[in-house]
Amino acid sequence: MTEARIAKRFAAGPESAAFALDVHLRVEPGITVLFGPSGSGKTLTLECIAGFATPDKGRILVDDRIVFDAEARVNLPPRQRPCGYVFQSNSLFPHKTLRANLEFAAAGLPRIEGARRVGEMLERFQLSEMAGRCPHELSGGQRQRGSIARALLREPRALLLDEPAQGLDAPLREEFYAILREIRDSLHLPILLVTHAIEECFELATHMVVIHNGILIQTGSPLSVYRQPASSEVAALLGDYFLAPAEIASLDPHNKASVIRIFGAEIPGPYFAGHFKGDRIRLCLQPSDLRLSLRGGDRALPGQIPLTLVRVVERPRTVRLHFAEGLAGDMGVAEFAALPQSKFWQAEIAPSAMRALS
């Protein structure tokens, strides 16, 4: 088991605000994506696990081995921790050839075993032909594969990756994801990947952990997190979510239904477990949840939310309509073009699409 319970505080400095990291993270074999904005403590968490930073409190286990325990005063140096680390920037030693980079990691192994692994890794990541080149003579994709090969050479018991796809353009990113998936499937290895790109969660994550301001705010599969953000912070991080204030007008547990009051209209909603009549909630909606149509006058049809258009953003296939109420909806380009221009709109929302944040 690979597990980290870490607390670390930073006092406010002349150029930095105070920051506190307090996380409890368990990484199973497969890919766990630690998702959060920059400055949320993602990289710091990785650095604590690898031993580049020392937590104030807590305990870190890598493959059931204690590498850090504040109470027992255990703090193994990085070189004794069985973690592979792939850095955000290319970290291949620029003064060594690719082969020498791998051989650096093989030092300490019996010579024949080391040479065998170097050869195997070069072969596995299709780098044998350029093994004699220095990093600056390699392409971005080759460098990234080289970094991973080097990190895996010592057969680590956990693999840590710090925004490894940053700086790669789209085709290389795809190639890189394929490599990571291959590693996930062929090695029984806990992989912890840090990113602020939501696509990477869907592409790679078996498990997703959302970190914000040094605290883990939601965990689960990427889809479950995406479908039901636990808080407005998570919704904001995921992007594509719009929040609308609403009030529960009535609850009907028998029919698993409710009526909610939103922007002056009363519309049918789902049953909100754990809420009472009169509760103020925030509806968390995506543009695809709104079924838009024009409304005739100032009032919307029953069961529809009245909206006022403020801005239209054209995309390749859809237009996104932003409304004064803080919501947005999507519509086909042709469909939108066929309608007369008006700023008075209404939207219908399926009760099943309504998520409530309190």
For 66, 86, 224, 260, the CA distances from 305, given in Å and listed in that order, are 56, 49, 27, 11
Closer of 95 and 188 to other proteins (Cβ): 95
Under DSSP, the state recorded for 214 is T
Q: Work out how close the CB of 226 gets to other proteins at its nearest, in angstroms, rounded to a whole number.
A: 33
Per DSSP, the three-state class of 91 is: coil
Closer of 150 and 212 to other proteins (Cβ): 150
Under DSSP, the state recorded for 341 is P
Q: Work out how close the CB of 354 gets to other proteins at its nearest, in angstroms, rounded to a whole number.
A: 46
Closer of 79 and 315 to other proteins (Cβ): 79
Q: Work out how close the CB of 79 gets to other proteins at its nearest, in angstroms, rounded to a whole number.
A: 5
Q: Work out how close the CB of 81 gets to other proteins at its nearest, in angstroms, rounded to a whole number.
A: 8
Closer of 152 and 260 to other proteins (Cβ): 152
Closer of 95 and 315 to other proteins (Cβ): 95
Q: Work out how close the CB of 265 gets to other proteins at its nearest, in angstroms, rounded to a whole number.
A: 56
Are residues 131 and 101 in contact, defined by beta-carbon separation less than 8 angstroms? no
Q: Work out how close the CB of 47 gets to other proteins at its nearest, in angstroms, rounded to a whole number.
A: 8
Q: Name the site residues for other proteins (rule: CB under 8 A).
A: 50-52, 77-79, 81, 83-85, 87, 89, 91, 93-95, 104-105, 107-108, 150-151, 154
Report phi then psi at 123, rounded to 5: -65, -50
Under DSSP, the state recorded for 300 is P
Closer of 78 and 278 to other proteins (Cβ): 78
Closer of 193 and 244 to other proteins (Cβ): 193
- Residue that is written with structure tokens 């973690």 in the block: 83
**Spatial distance between the Cα atoms of 171 and 177, rounded to a whole number of angstroms:** 10
DSSP 7-59: EEEE---SSS--EEEEEEEEE-BEEEEEE--TTSSHHHHHHHHHTSS--SEEE
**Spatial distance between the Cα atoms of 198 and 212, rounded to a whole number of angstroms:** 14
Q: Work out how close the CB of 149 gets to other proteins at its nearest, in angstroms, rounded to a whole number.
A: 12
Q: Which amino acid is at 293?
A: S
